[in-house]
Each structure stands twice: as structure tokens, then as C-alpha cells.
Amino acid sequence: GGVGKTTLLKTLNSELKENTRDYHVVILIEVANSETLNVVDMQKIIANRLGLPWNESETERERSTFLRRALRRKKFVVLLDDVWKKFQLADVGIPTPSSDYGCKLILASRSNQVCVEMGDKEPMEMPCLGDNESLRLFRSNLMAEVSAAIDHDSDMRRSAMDIIQSCGGLPLSP
């Protein structure tokens, strides 16, 4: 982890929400199903984004049927973050997305295999940053004077490169 998948999904979520003419609803769900999938929490997020009432007395299965029906009437994008293992979308209330209706599912996982198991036909890998991209990102977080000093002071440049190397091309610090 740490290559920026969550940040990318959050940015995409914000941009899609702002551009409302393309989709009726955009739903971002942090799955984080390392041990057990929290279906109820996911259903609450979907119901909330759709503006639907929440009924505690309904079973997970009843809610999933209700949510699937509601989503089928909409052009939607569902962004699933931090998917650790395969699960059935229908169990949560997400219909199988169809490009015929302009519906999309985007998921982020550390495992390419999970993406394939979830039906992703073209999984994309997010590579680590190269040295130039890492230095550019590092400098963007510095004050202008410090960033400029990296160009003129060999000790500063060496220290900056040591920090960048210790991060291993990941945008997050170790």
C-alpha cells in the first residue's frame, strides 16, 4: 500500500460529484474487508447517498434487494476502496454495473488477483514514483527557499535524495 490509491479514489469521487451531469449518484465506500465484510455499513453508505430511508428492522438481504432496485434506476459510479478479498456486489446491494446504462464500478486493491476475481477485465497497476517524480513531489511540500536550496547546496541535495530513496517511490513517508 501507500502508492496513492485512496487519494486517487477520493479525488475522483470529488470530481465526479462536481460533474453531476454524467451520473445521478457517485458512491465512495471504504471496504477494508481484511477479516469480515461489514455489509451493513456499506448498505448505510449507499442508502445515505441515494437519500433513502434506513430501516433497522430489515434484513441485510431485504436491504440489498431494495438498494439494487434503487441503483438500477440510476446512472451510477461506485468506488470501492481497500478491497482485500472478493465479495458479491449483490449481497451489499450493488447491481452488476453495465456500460450500456452508463454505470461503473471502480475498485482499489493491493491485490491484482482480487480485482480479477471481482470481475475487473482490465486491472491497472499503480507503479511507485520514479526519482524525478519523487523529487518533484518532495519539493512541492517544501517552502520555496528550501526547495531552491536543493539546487544550490550539494549537502541539501544529498539529504533530499536520501529522504526520497528511503520512501521507495511511495508518496507516503516510511
- Listing DSSP states for 69-130 in one string gives HHHHTS-EEEEEES--S---HHHHTPPPP-GGGT-EEEE--S-HHHHHHTT-SS----PPP-
CA 173, CA 122: separation in Å to the nearest integer? Answer: 30
pLDDT, tens only, 16-61? 888 777 788 999 998 876 667 789 999 999 999 999 999 999 999 9
Domain ranges of the chain: 5-117, 131-167
Roughly what angle, to the nearest 10 degrees, separates helices 154-167 and 131-140? 110
Segment 109-137 shows an average pLDDT of 85
Query: What is the percent of the chain where pLDDT is above 90?
Result: 32
pLDDT, tens only, 145-169? 888 888 888 998 899 888 888 888 7
Whether the per-residue pLDDT at 101 is higher than 80: the answer is no
DSSP, collapsed to helix, strand or coil, labels residue 59 as coil
Q: Cβ–Cβ contacts within 10 Å for residue 162, how many?
A: 9
Asked if 39 and 91 count as a contact pair (C-beta separation under 8 A), the reply is yes
